[in-house]
Structure formats: C-alpha cells, structure tokens
Amino acid sequence: MNTTEQLREMLKEVYDPELGVNIVDLGLVYNVREEADGIYVQMTLTTPGCPLHDTITGGVKWVLSQKTDKEKIEVDIVWEPRWSPAMMSEAAKDVLGYF
C-alpha cells in the first residue's frame, strides 16, 4: 500500500514541459490516494484549455502504472478550486523567477 506522500513523490516525475517544473511543485495535484482497485488523482491545470491537458494526464497515468502495481489510474481534472500561483512551492517559484 502506497501512502499519499509516496504517490506525490512519484508524481514529481511528471513535468509541465513548458514551465519545466513538476506538477506537484506547481501545486496542480489536489488529491491523490490509493484505493482498493486503483489510484485516484484529483488535479487541475494552470489554465482551462491548457494545450498540455492530454500530455500531463497521460504522464500521470504512465508514471503511476509504472511505479505501482495498480493498473487502474483515474485522473480527475477539476477547475474548482481554481489554480493560483500561490499554490506553487518555493522551489517552483524559484525556477519560474516568481516575484
């Protein structure tokens, strides 16, 4: 059984290729948990209609299916609460030159 922290650590391998920052540090992952038959991820994107929608959700599924023994990975993209830059980690802010 993987803990939430372990799953979040795994998701740090999925990068937003435009920003060059992983989705966990960007604050895009709202909830991740292992369930009896799979893994559930609730996340958002920096903007509605983000052109990397399929790429990032595909990356999440690929990483979790490779690093766990679960085959069923559910990625739920939500727009509430709306993502804001305040959700980024200090590491992400440093990379983006956030000020």
Taking the complex as a whole, how short is the minimal distance between the CB of residue 91 and another protein, in angstroms? Answer: 14
Q: Of 53 and 72, which CB lies nearer to another protein in the complex structure?
A: 53
Taking the complex as a whole, how short is the minimal distance between the CB of residue 5 and another protein, in angstroms? Answer: 19
Q: Of 36 and 69, which CB lies nearer to another protein in the complex structure?
A: 69
Query: What is the torsional sign of CA 70, 2, 10, 51?
Result: positive
User: CB under 8 Å, gap of 24 or more: what pairs does 78-83 form?
Assistant: 78/30, 78/42, 78/43, 78/44, 79/44, 79/48, 81/30, 81/44, 82/44, 83/27, 83/28, 83/44, 83/45, 83/46
Taking the complex as a whole, how short is the minimal distance between the CB of residue 23 and another protein, in angstroms? Answer: 9
Q: Of 17 and 33, which CB lies nearer to another protein in the complex structure?
A: 17
List of residues contacting another protein (CB under 8 A): 13-15, 17-20, 46-56, 58-60, 62-63, 84-85, 88, 93, 96-99
